[in-house]
Amino acid sequence: MKNIVVALIASLALVQGALAADPAPANAAAVRELLDAMNYRTMWKASMEQMSKTLPGIMRQQIEATIQADTTLTEAQRKEKLQQLQAQLPKMTEILNSVFTDPGLMADMEAEMIALYSRHFTADELKQIAAYYRTPVGMKSMQLMPQVMAESMAIGQRVTMPRIQKAMEQFRYK
């Protein structure tokens, strides 16, 4: 079960990859301006709060599916593992929530975002994007983004999980 939790944590990583060289000061300043226009800290916090609400259900669904699909377990063992899940889920959720609320995570994310945006946009382009986010429609899109992302994740889960489970069945019988 711990391996499943580790896999879930890994799959929740929002930014991966090697760090680029330090961005030019003009780009770094432009990215910071963009992040400010995007209300990035507030949006990040809202996204993490939304994830904290939906994560226990996602974790439960994933782990239950794994337990149910394990053909080496008897019905009694499945029942026992499901009871263990029920008992452990609050602690797992608490641990993951502590990761999401770690202030160092925000600082690391901002550093990664500065490097990311600097690799793909010029300072002038970043200023244009920031100007968009200061418009009414840009502000609305940023305000609704955590909700849209949460709903999108739920849709992705609902649509892909049956396909993944079906594909995994091919390996179970070989």
**Block mean pLDDT (10 aa), the chain, length 174:** 45 39 77 90 80 84 88 92 90 86 88 92 95 94 86 92 84 60
> How far apart (Å, rounded) are the C-alpha atoms in residues 49 and 54?
9
**pLDDT value for 77:** 93
Burial of 16 (0-12, 13-18, 19+ CB in 10 A): exposed
Burial of 140 (0-12, 13-18, 19+ CB in 10 A): exposed
**pLDDT value for 76:** 94
Query: Is this prediction's pTM over 0.75?
Result: no
Whole-angstrom CA distances from 68 to 41, 140, 166, 168, 169 are 40, 42, 13, 13, 12
**pLDDT value for 124:** 95
**pLDDT value for 17:** 37
> How far apart (Å, rounded) are the C-alpha atoms in residues 50 and 151?
10
